[in-house]
Amino acid sequence: SLTTVGLEMINVSASWDEGIVELFEKIKRENKANGHLTGDDGLFFTNLYVTPVLKSINLRLEEGMMLAVAGSTGSGKSSLLMMILGELVPSEGKIKHSGRVSYSPQTSWIMPGTIRDNILFGLTYDEYRYTSIIRACQLEEDFDLLPDKDKTPIAEGGVTLSGGQRARICLARAVYKDADLYLLDAPFTHLDIATEKEIFDKCVCKLMASKTRVVVTCKLEHLKRADRIILLHNGDCYFYGTFSELQAQRPDFSSLLLG
Ligand code: DCP
């Protein structure tokens, strides 16, 4: 086909406990070198402790598509993003994407400086881009209440931000960065339902419409608007496809969306 792939995963598996495998491999090598017991003594332990966090994941997103990553707590949603980022190296399979990635982590972080510094994060100020993003992230009203608007210093000696403000600043920072692929890990934590709905619509759906997006969310409304959905369960791909396919193939899916 003529469409360009934004993100592809082919039969990808990974575990966080690779360190244990390496450790036992090292012990085995040392045992061998010392003329001690050889063989697969380490395997017993590795089989016990190394549980894959993601198992045989397959997905294919065309450029400009939105993927919703859903599943209950601990199912591997953040790990999937870490794998795309290259922080978690697959033990099997292949990941393909077109290069520059912008990532918004689950836990928001702020560096000392002004709010604007925190959003630009070293990039040049482009008024049109900046204003569209802060509007879409519902930050304008917050800035109006601050003594120096977005030039107000935060962290030490500055204003204290609410969890929701921090979350929106971090989202704005991730969106401001020009990238081919945007990874947004639960970007709506600490937001009330109305604000979440507005930001999902104005920022994630409209402003970012042409961008390839991977969004961790369990909200039914978000799944409905995503181009593809991956529903994880204990690291397995319980479902991958569109919302209508989800309803048809997994009518019980909502039980996996809690948390
Ligand atoms: N894990 C780990 N080391 C890490 C991150 C995760 O050992 N650095 C483990 C903890 C879980 C599993 O991986 O058993 C999956 O964790 P995720 O954070 O990927 O799961 P979710 O993002 O789905 O969970 P939540 O919704 O609670 O954030």
Residue-wise pLDDT tens digits, 206-223: 999 999 999 999 999 999
**Rounded Cα distance, 188 and 219, in Å:** 10
pLDDT at 20: 63
Evaluate whether 51 touches 15 at the Cβ level (below 8 Å).
yes
What percentage of residues in the chain have a pLDDT greater than 70? 88
Phi, psi of 11 (to 5 degrees): 50, 50
Three-class DSSP labels, 22-55: HHHHHHHHHHHHCCCCCCCHHHHHHHHHCCCCEE
Q: 3-state DSSP: the chain helix, strand, coil percent, rounded to 5?
A: 40, 25, 35
3-state secondary structure of 193: helix
**How remote is the CA of residue 79 from the centroid of ligand 1, in Å?**
6
Whole-number Å distance, alpha carbon 76 to ligand 1 midpoint, is 5
Taking CA atoms only, the protein residue closest to ligand 1 atom 27 is: 73
Question: Ligand 1 atom 6: the closest Cα is on which residue?
Answer: 79
Rounded distance between C-alpha atoms, residue 144 and residue 149, angstroms: 6
Distance CA 58, CA 67 (A): 13
pLDDT confidence tier of residue 52, bands split at 50, 70 and 90: confident
ipTM (interface pTM) = 0.94
The structure tokens listed for 248 are: 């048809």
> What type of residue sits at position 157?
G
- Who's near 21: CB < 8 A, 6+ residues apart? 46, 50
Q: How far, in Å, is the centroid of ligand 1 from the Cα of 16? A: 9
Pocket of ligand 1 (CB under 6 A): 16, 53, 71, 73-79, 106, 259
For the ranges 22-36, 54-68, 156-170, which has the lowest average pLDDT?
Answer: 22-36
Which atom from ligand 1 is nearest to the alpha carbon of 259?
26
- Hey, whose CA ends up nearest to atom 26 of ligand 1? 73
Average pLDDT over residues 229-251: 95
Q: What count of residues does the chain have?
A: 259
Give backbone dihedrals phi and psi of 5, rounded to 5 degrees, phi first.
-80, 130
Rounded Cα gap, residues 12 and 90, in angstroms: 6
DSSP secondary structure letters along 62-114: ETT-EEEEEESTTSSHHHHHHHHHTSS--SEEEEEE-S-EEEE-SS----SEE
Pairing of the two strands 236-241 and 228-233: antiparallel
